[in-house]
């Protein structure tokens, strides 16, 4: 029987790349997104045909408890959970509205709690599983003008380390990838000048690609079980 990977925020960018990598490895997929369901369904159909895997697509807010419960009730189980859903907010903290703060925390952090809680029930029964959280280097060091985003990813990093300790006796591994600047739509607000300035600060001399993050996510899914509780920074030497 094929293993199943759930990937949140899978309609584009890093999530799409992760879906493609796991499908290529023969994983059946459960994909979620909050907006671009048509695009994700096209992706699911493509991956199903090209890789001969079973793909299920769900639209919903993964920061909503009832939505997450409904999705998990619709599937048999998950061997690998990749928490990728996330949004950013650029601006001064003093100008940020409380509703924007709560929405970001719900999407970036509450979703990780809710999906992990559901997945753990099934992983405990199987006495194995992998949880991979897509974090950010800003969760390690913080970023000016991105305080809320940094806080959410810092929380994800602490969540990863603590949950790994809690689940290690049950043979469930929990790790995170702290991404540097990855070439996705999340950086589309940058001007050409800002992109060049940012690139000049990266020792690798370029942005990372979603495919590189996807490859590392897959490596974590098949890594030795002794690897757990790690925040692996993938930033081209930036920090």
Q: Which of 34, 32, 35 is nearest to 19 (CA)?
A: 32
N-to-C CA span, the chain: 42
Model confidence at 101, pLDDT cuts 50, 70, 90, reads very high
pLDDT exceeds 90 at position 135? yes
Catalytic position from the list 149, 207, 218, 226: 149
The predicted pLDDT at position 40 comes to: 97
Model confidence at 158, pLDDT cuts 50, 70, 90, reads very high
Q: Give percent of the chain above pLDDT 70.
A: 99
The predicted pLDDT at position 197 comes to: 85
Burial of 75 per CB tally in 10 Å (0-12, 13-18, 19+): middle
Q: pLDDT of 167-223, one tens digit each? A: 999 999 999 999 999 998 777 667 788 888 889 999 999 999 999 999 999 999 999
The predicted pLDDT at position 194 comes to: 81
125 a catalytic residue:
no
> Average per-residue pLDDT in the chain?
95
Model confidence at 124, pLDDT cuts 50, 70, 90, reads very high
pLDDT exceeds 80 at position 84? yes
- In terms of CATH architecture, what is 4-234? 3-Layer(aba) Sandwich (3.40)
Burial of 14 per CB tally in 10 Å (0-12, 13-18, 19+): buried
The predicted pLDDT at position 33 comes to: 97
Q: pLDDT of 10-26, one tens digit each? A: 999 999 999 999 999 99
pLDDT exceeds 90 at position 50? yes
Residues 6 or more apart whose CB falls under 8 angstroms from that of 99 comprise none
Q: How far apart are CA 103 and CA 13, in angstroms?
A: 20
pTM here is: 0.95
The predicted pLDDT at position 196 comes to: 87
Can you give the residue ranges of every domain in the chain?
4-234
Stretch (H or E) spanning 120 = helix 111-126
The predicted pLDDT at position 195 comes to: 83
The predicted pLDDT at position 213 comes to: 98
The predicted pLDDT at position 185 comes to: 75
Model confidence at 3, pLDDT cuts 50, 70, 90, reads very high
């Amino acid at each position: 029987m094929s293993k199943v990977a759930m990937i949140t925020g899978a309609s584009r960018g890093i999530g799409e790349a992760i879906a493609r990598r796991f499908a290529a490895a023969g994983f059946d997929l459960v994909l979620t997104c909050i907006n671009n369901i048509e695009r994700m369904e096209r992706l699911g159909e493509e991956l199903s045909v090209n890789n001969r895997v079973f793909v299920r697509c769900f639209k919903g807010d993964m920061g909503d408890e009832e939505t997450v419960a409904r999705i998990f009730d619709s599937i048999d189980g998950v061997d690998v959970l990749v928490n990728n859903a996330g949004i950013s907010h650029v601006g001064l903290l003093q100008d940020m509205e409380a509703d924007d703060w709560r929405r970001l925390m719900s999407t970036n952090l509450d979703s990780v709690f809710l999906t992990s809680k559901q997945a753990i029930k099934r992983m405990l029964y199987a006495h194995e599983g992998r949880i991979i959280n897509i974090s950010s280097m800003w969760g390690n060091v913080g970023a000016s003008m991105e305080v809320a985003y940094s806080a959410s990813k810092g929380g994800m990093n602490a969540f990863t380390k603590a949950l790994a300790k809690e689940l290690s006796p049950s043979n469930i591994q929990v790790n995170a990838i702290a991404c540097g600047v990855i070439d996705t739509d999340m950086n589309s607000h940058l001007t050409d000048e800002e992109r060049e300035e940012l690139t000049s600060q990266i020792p690798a001399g370029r942005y990372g690609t979603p495919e590189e993050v996807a490859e590392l996510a897959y490596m974590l899914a098949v890594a030795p079980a002794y690897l757990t509780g790690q925040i692996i920074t993938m930033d081209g030497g930036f920090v």
